[in-house]
Chains A and B, each alone.
Chain A
Amino acid sequence: MSVIVKNLAKHYGEQKAVNQISFEAKPGRILGFLGPNGAGKSTTMKMLTGYLAPTSGEAEICNLTIQTAPLAVKKLIGYLPENTPLYLEMYVREFLGFVAETYGLKNIAQRIEEVIKLVGLTQEQHKKIGMLSKGYKQRVGLAQAIIHDPQVLILDEPTSGLDPNQLADIRSLIKSLGKDKTVIISTHIMQEVEALCDDVIIINKGTLVANTSIADLRKEHQQASLEEIFKALTR
């Protein structure tokens, strides 16, 4: 059930967006994926989900590689893309129904009911997605990522644009999902990493600069705060 990344690279011409990174995400643990803007976080996530083809290297998800078994891998992954693109003209339930159908789920109505409750969309479930506020759109994005109960969750900045109350809700949801799934989240908020993550990888200009558990990272840097460590590593 784990995600193993080996020498994954993505080049755009001369520019190396992601340069030979390797890491592993284990089930039951939440992996925080950190790095400054433009470091290659989203590109890496897009490669893991099969949206972008890597220039070289491979990603293994639950013992399957995305290049050789793309459809099987995509079934195992739930993905929340950055900026949460959604079909704004669709209704919340209609959209979730569509997503469920693409996975060929059974008992779709029941499953929609469950995820709507899980992400806290009950109040807004009959609205058009375009009419929702940013926080609720984010929840719809999360709902579409978990609707097929995937073993691997890849969330690209899942908490951007949420108010403090929503933040707490979503974090506890991710935490509970992380108990039996492999979760990779990217974020810029250091408190979130400390609150949520077990392991952390830091990427800077496409290269990996840290790949360890939070406790070890602290030990290595004499108990400095995560923010200071981040600044020191990505300067």
Chain B
Amino acid sequence: MLAVFKRELFSFLSSSMAYITIGIFLLACGLMFWFFPDTSILEYGYAEMDGFFSLVPYLFMFLISAIAMRSFAEERKEGTYVLLATRPLTDLQIILAKYLACMVLVLFSLLPTLIYYYSISRLGMPQGNIDTGAVIGSYIGLFLLGGAFTSVGIFASSITKNQIIAFAVAVFLCFFAYSGFDSVSRLSAFESIESTLVNLGIAEHYQSISRGVLDTRDVVYFITFVALFLGLTKLAIGGRKW
């Protein structure tokens, strides 16, 4: 399993695709958080990162879908999956190795944004006036959110051999899982189960962790979410109808 993980990671790092998508992600973050007046922290005037943490999930939908789209779709298209499937590895090991490699990329893309925390704490009045607990909580939330989106991306990649389709499906599923349940719950037809629907969405749990309170219910939610999508991936891979 370690061998597959290493191969995946190196193939990410040796292709320009990973650097370009992460670069664009960081560029978009920087622009939105520091320059564009509508969302800029400088216009906002408070030493908080809330704006950043509500923006990133939407950028993540695209970033993570782009990172994960190739994991199985490319192997299927090139026929190289047989190279993995005929080794002494279980399907689950292959899926986990690919999942973890994508997660490392997600972490790489998140690390540079720690600079924002430093900058903002310097800009605070007085200096260092920032709610560190909330920021740590939000980063943990973001990491869990990234994990959830990655599992969706891996699943989307396993159901098709076309990377573009995998990308589109992943973006849609991520979007729906993140804010779709919220929106649906506001339909009058679902009034009676509104809170259940809201609870199914990622946004509710992400925001709850972002407040700086690490509730086991939220953590369990994310773990279940990831397990569900990786399980679905295993079903898709195990059928081998290609």
Say whether B7 contacts A89, CB under 8 Å.
no
Indicate which residue in A53, A72, A74, A87 contacts B80 across the interface (CB closer than 8 Å): A87
Instruction: Tell me how far the C-beta of B123 lies from the nearest C-beta in chain A, rounded to whole angstroms.
Output: 44
Partner of B86, one of A49, A83, A88: A49
Describe B's contact surface by its main secondary structure: helix
Distance between A150 CB and nearest chain B CB, rounded to angstroms: 11
Indicate whether A79 sits within 8 Å of B11 (C-beta atoms), given known contacts A52-B240, A86-B80, A98-B3.
Answer: no
Q: Does B215 contact A (CB under 8 A)?
A: no
Contacting pair B11 A102 (CB below 8 A): no
Q: In the complex the two chains form, is A102's CB within 8 Å of B4's CB?
A: yes
Asked if B45 CB lies within 8 Å of chain A CBs, one says no
- Contact present for B80 and A102 (CB under 8 Å): no
- Interface status of A75 (Cβ within 8 A of chain B): yes
Query: How many residues belonging to B are interface residues under a CB distance threshold of 8 Å?
Result: 22
Are A87 and B83 closer than 8 Å at their CB atoms? Answer: yes
Q: Quick one: which of B116-174 are within 8 Å of A by CB?
A: none
A86–B79 alpha-carbon span in the complex (Å): 8
| A144 CB-CB contact with B under 8 Å | yes
Q: What are the residues of chain A within 8 A of B240 when measuring CB–CB?
A: 51-53
Contacts of B11 in A (CB 8 A): 87, 89-90
Chain B residues with Cβ below 8 Å from A89 are 11, 14-15
- B87-95, B107-115, B184-192, B225-233 - interface stretch: B87-95
Residues of A within 8 A of B86 (CB): 49-51, 74, 77, 79, 81
B20 at the interface (CB under 8 A from A): no
* Cβ–Cβ contact B3 & A101, under 8 A: yes
A sample of 25 inter-chain contacts (CB < 8 A) reads A50-B86, A51-B86, A52-B240, A70-B90, A71-B88, A71-B89, A74-B86, A74-B87, A74-B88, A79-B86, A81-B82, A83-B79, A85-B78, A85-B82, A85-B83, A88-B78, A89-B11, A89-B14, A89-B15, A90-B7, A98-B3, A98-B6, A99-B83, A101-B2, A144-B83
Interface positions of A (Cβ within 8 A of B):
46, 49-53, 70-72, 74-75, 77, 79, 81, 83, 85-90, 94, 98-99, 101-104, 144
